[in-house]
Amino acid sequence: MVKMKKEIKLFDPSIDASEMNAVSKVLKSKFWASGSGNGLVKKFETQFQKYIKSKSCIAVNSGTAALNLAFSLFDIKNKEVILPSMSFVSSAHCIVEHGGIPIFVDIEPDTLCIDPKQIRKKISKKTVGILPVHFGGMPSNLTEIQKLAKPSNLFIVEDAAHAVGTKFNNQKIGSHGTIVCFSFHPVKNLAMPTGGLLAINHKNHNKLKDKLFSRRWCGITNRTFTDYDVHEIGWNYYMNEFSAAIGLEQLKKLDKLNKIRKKIAKKYFDEINITEKMPFSKDCSYHLYWILVKNRQDFRQKLARNGIETGTHYKPIHKMRMYPTSNKLPVTEKIGKEIVTIPIHPNLTSSDVNNIISKINRFI
């Protein structure tokens, strides 16, 4: 019998008996979903809010849904929202979905987060908001972004899909911005089958939460035992009980799992013989670890032949047919061509990590 080489996956959720028991309980209860978000969804919102220390939290069924709901709160029709192009397409779709115009600006070459100097150049009379993405779990420079937003009264919606557990200025991401959107897609640091959440820190957070509460379930309000009403458009965006059950278990071990990611990141940073690679920061959640490689295709194929899966996060959004831009984005373009994401998850053994490092150092 031919012995198959072990494949090292790029992503691999960390689960054990606790998630399995939690799912089994939901299955047996036959209470699987509720637009009202009672039961475990509500419990997850409470626990997550305590974890990130935001004013309010509302759980939804994806990071994309969170972003779409966030932009439903602002009037952005024919107005501009500034964002990085180095992200997943949902970061831009949510702007277009609500009639806004995405204005892509370049990123910092070390963090791959939006460059505040580039934001400053693009603020115009039409600008209404800024959407920073905490790339790979590295925090965007929120202090500088807030300084730029304040004089023009711009809103900030953070895309924190990668940043569960990331810190900025000693506070968890989720506690700074007006609205902060998380994703709990299975590859994320806190994994669910599908899930997302909006953290709200606005002074009228209860009012916003009420709006989001109805919009996440088809605009339904005034729910009573005998009646309900609808006064606006809403969507089927609510989180289901299975996701919440898994999420509650994942949340209990999140810090422990992120600590393992950080340890691996430190080793990659110290031992991979490439100068252009993701920096080490104790504040980063390390959803991704990236390196820049000139001969990307050949390099990835060699790693794949050696059982190491890699990715290319991301093809810049402005390179998609739907999103051409006249803005010059030299850093994003270079990184879009050279970026390779390598496995960084808590299921990697130390022998996997050593193997990854030695193969990378051999093939670059």
Ligand X SMILES: Cc1ncc(COP(=O)(O)O)c(C=O)c1O
Which residues contact ligand X (rule: CB under 6 A)?
Answer: 62-64, 87-88, 90-91, 133, 159, 161-162, 183, 185, 196
Of all residues in this chain, which one has the CB nearest to ligand X in the complex?
A: 63
- What's the closest the beta carbon of residue 158 comes to ligand X, in angstroms? 10
Which of residues 284 and 353 has its CB atom nearest to ligand X in the complex? 284
Which of residues 196 and 336 has its CB atom nearest to ligand X in the complex? 196
Beta bridge partners of 291: 277, 340
Which of residues 182 and 299 has its CB atom nearest to ligand X in the complex? 182
Which of residues 52 and 161 has its CB atom nearest to ligand X in the complex? 161
CA dihedral 206, 207, 208, 214 (to 10 degrees): 100
* Spatial separation of the C-alpha atoms in residues 94 and 103, rounded to whole Å: 13
- What's the closest the beta carbon of residue 90 comes to ligand X, in angstroms? 4
- What's the closest the beta carbon of residue 162 comes to ligand X, in angstroms? 6
- What's the closest the beta carbon of residue 231 comes to ligand X, in angstroms? 27
Note if the bond before 314 is cis, omega within 30 degrees: yes
DSSP letter assigned to residue 338: H
* Spatial separation of the C-alpha atoms in residues 359 and 351, rounded to whole Å: 12
The pair phi, psi for residue 188, each rounded to 5°, is: -80, 170
* Spatial separation of the C-alpha atoms in residues 258 and 361, rounded to whole Å: 25
Cβ proximity of 360 and 274 under 8 Å: yes
- What's the closest the beta carbon of residue 203 comes to ligand X, in angstroms? 26
Which of residues 91 and 341 has its CB atom nearest to ligand X in the complex? 91
SS3 letters for 209-235?
A: HHHHHHHCECCEECCCCCCCEECCCCC
Cβ proximity of 196 and 65 under 8 Å: yes
Which of residues 70 and 200 has its CB atom nearest to ligand X in the complex? 70
Q: Which of 189, 239, 205 is nearest to 45 (CA)?
A: 239
Beta bridge partners of 198: 58, 181
CB half-sphere exposure, 302, CA atoms < 13 A: 15
Which of residues 108 and 352 has its CB atom nearest to ligand X in the complex? 108
* Spatial separation of the C-alpha atoms in residues 117 and 30, rounded to whole Å: 53
- What's the closest the beta carbon of residue 197 comes to ligand X, in angstroms? 10
- What's the closest the beta carbon of residue 31 comes to ligand X, in angstroms? 23
Which of residues 116 and 196 has its CB atom nearest to ligand X in the complex? 196
- What's the closest the beta carbon of residue 305 comes to ligand X, in angstroms? 27
The enclosing H or E element of 101 equals strand 101-105
Helix (H, G, I), strand (E, B) or coil at 121: helix
